Chain A
């Protein structure tokens, strides 16, 4: 069982991620998207997944029992090659429904002071 005190816990990545054209192109190609000038709408998950995984594992969550419940993106501007992005992840809510813990994590990607993408992942920890 997760400690309710973890709500509000924030994890800011120690290093920034430099977005390469190769990463944007590889992601777009994998889903058959023919245009590579900006990142695909869901590209940011390739940066935020690892960061939110670290935050949750440090908070005692068993990643092997996690199922992705839902996902939201707010894209203030598209990610482009050359962006240097810092990920800030925060546990927004923890609740229990039918014995399963449900955790919502918000991840913000920032280029300096500029917020580029905010995303919310709802994760269900199977009992």
Chain B
């Protein structure tokens, strides 16, 4: 694992999201809420279109954290607030841009502040993780 420094920026990674990913994530997670797959249903409850599961957005941010940590086994804590939906129109791919910054290092752990941006809009708030450096 690389030696981190407080304040170090973690390079942004782009994660593409399309309708097929929403189906794959619904099947893997068991969250079959139709707002994540059925456009007509999503619009009937006041959404602009199908939206990604908040937990999918968080899972992709988690993948970023696992990569930084040198594996999922080193991820100790993870928090995110869902502040804006990620809208996924049919036939298109939207890009979720995840980046981070080391905010603290102490006693063998590092704290990371995470940014998640989609279409120039921040979709996760207060997102942060604690990873083990051991």
* Chain A interface residues toward B at CB < 8 A: 23, 26-27, 29-33, 35, 37-42, 45-46, 49-50, 64, 67-75, 78
Q: Looking at the complex, which one of B21, B59, B76 makes contact with A42 (CB distance below 8 Å)?
A: B59
* Chain B interface residues toward A at CB < 8 A: 15, 21, 24-25, 27-31, 45, 54-56, 58-60, 62-63, 65-66, 71-73, 75-82, 125-126, 129
In the complex where A27-B28, A29-B28, A31-B25 touch, is A40 in contact with B62 (Cβ < 8 A)? yes
Smallest CB-CB separation from B128: which chain A residue? A72
A50 proximity list for chain B (CB < 8 A): 30
| A30 adjacent to B27 (CB under 8 Å) | yes
| A45 adjacent to B71 (CB under 8 Å) | no
Question: Closest CB-CB distance, B45 to chain A, in whole Å?
Answer: 8
A74 proximity list for chain B (CB < 8 A): 76-77
| B66 adjacent to A42 (CB under 8 Å) | no
